[in-house]
Amino acid sequence: MIDVDHACEKAAKAINTSARIMPNNAVPCSSKRHLLATVSSSILKYGDPVWVAALETQRNRVKLTSTFRLIAMQVASACRTISSEEMANWQHDWDSSEKGRWIHRLILVLSTWVNRHGEVTFYLTQFLSGHGCFKQYLHQFGHAVSPFCSERIDVEERPEHAVLACPRFYAALNVENIAAEMCPDEGT
């Protein structure tokens, strides 16, 4: 019988190996990351027919969920600090959760996002999560001297400011139209 701990350990090794092949940066697109992630996913799914009894325990379910979360984060180029709720909840949880409020402002209806066409890129993941190259986030870990924007020293550099308001990155986007820009029609 396949042990959940053993399968999760093997899958985690495969995740770490593929992370070295495709580091968390802007180069590989999510479809290429997804292809490598199927290796880790297959390791976990290999023993699933015999796991019925193993999945009865909360510990094993948490272990498998955590490992699948690592796979999803790798495909999305997400930082490990991103909350699980930003990746896995559905609409009713989405609307009532206290986490992920920035993303909720941008994506009110999850089905629009889930059914969109296009890649989830390194930059899009950082923009949606707020975890990444923004000074406010980097400052928390001592990687930036200040959390404030270099153009507007009275404003923290967060995704909303950097993409929607900062003169350095100005684009004709706002909270109301950005979901449409992120979820283009299939033909565009």
The string of pLDDT tens digits covering residues 92-125 is 777 888 887 888 888 877 767 765 667 777 888 8
Mean pLDDT score, 34-63: 80
Q: Which two tokens stand for residue 96?
A: 């009532």
- Domain assignment present for residue 83? The answer is no
**pLDDT score for 1:** 46
- Domain assignment present for residue 154? The answer is yes
**107 plus 160 within the same structural domain:** yes
**31 plus 57 within the same structural domain:** yes
Last residue of a domain, one of 26, 51, 75: 75
**Cβ within 8 Å of residue 154, ≥6 positions away:** 148
- Domain assignment present for residue 82? The answer is no
* Higher per-residue pLDDT: 106 or 49: 106
For residue 69, the enclosing domain spans 4-75
**173 plus 108 within the same structural domain:** yes
- Domain assignment present for residue 81? The answer is no
Flag whether the pTM goes above 0.85: no
pLDDT more than 70, % of the chain: 81
* Higher per-residue pLDDT: 187 or 136: 136
Strand partners, 156: 148
